[in-house]
Amino acid sequence: MNGDSPGSEFPYAEPGDLARVREFVRTGATRLGLPEHRAELLTLAVSELATNTLQHTAGGGLVRLHTAGGRIVCDVIDGGSVRVLGRAMPAADALRGRGLAIVERICDDVGIDTAPDGTRVRLFLDLESPN
């Protein structure tokens, strides 16, 4: 798939929505041309972010998925604060704090900014990556 695709989106508001969020990401990413093993990585990253949304914010969130410039672009938007990128992986005995560190390591690029509808974590995975 060479051209950019129009997006699709999926809202979530409670823990029972997480399985549907994962299915939305996995099937949407493969439909848009991401190889299955890479779609699983994106699914893991989004699951981490969506779980954080439900644990640390009110009101749930929204996942948007599309392609642009030879990449899958996945936005996870919620009402939380802007997070800091570049964290070290927490120690093995730490109880929390791995989610964003995992996301940064499995995606090709990650950005965080403020969007009109909340804080947006934007994940990128290259469609043509050899990994």
pLDDT tens-digit readout, 86-114: 777 767 777 777 778 889 999 999 999 99
Look up residue 96 and give its DSSP letter.
Answer: S
CATH superfamily of 8-126: Histidine kinase-like ATPase, C-terminal domain (3.30.565.10)
Cα 65 to Cα 36: distance, rounded to the nearest angstrom: 16
Torsion of CA 52, 53, 54, 59, to 10 degrees: 170
Q: Please give the structure tokens belonging to residue 54.
A: 């439900």
Largest CA distance in the chain: 45
pTM higher than 0.85 for the full model?
A: yes
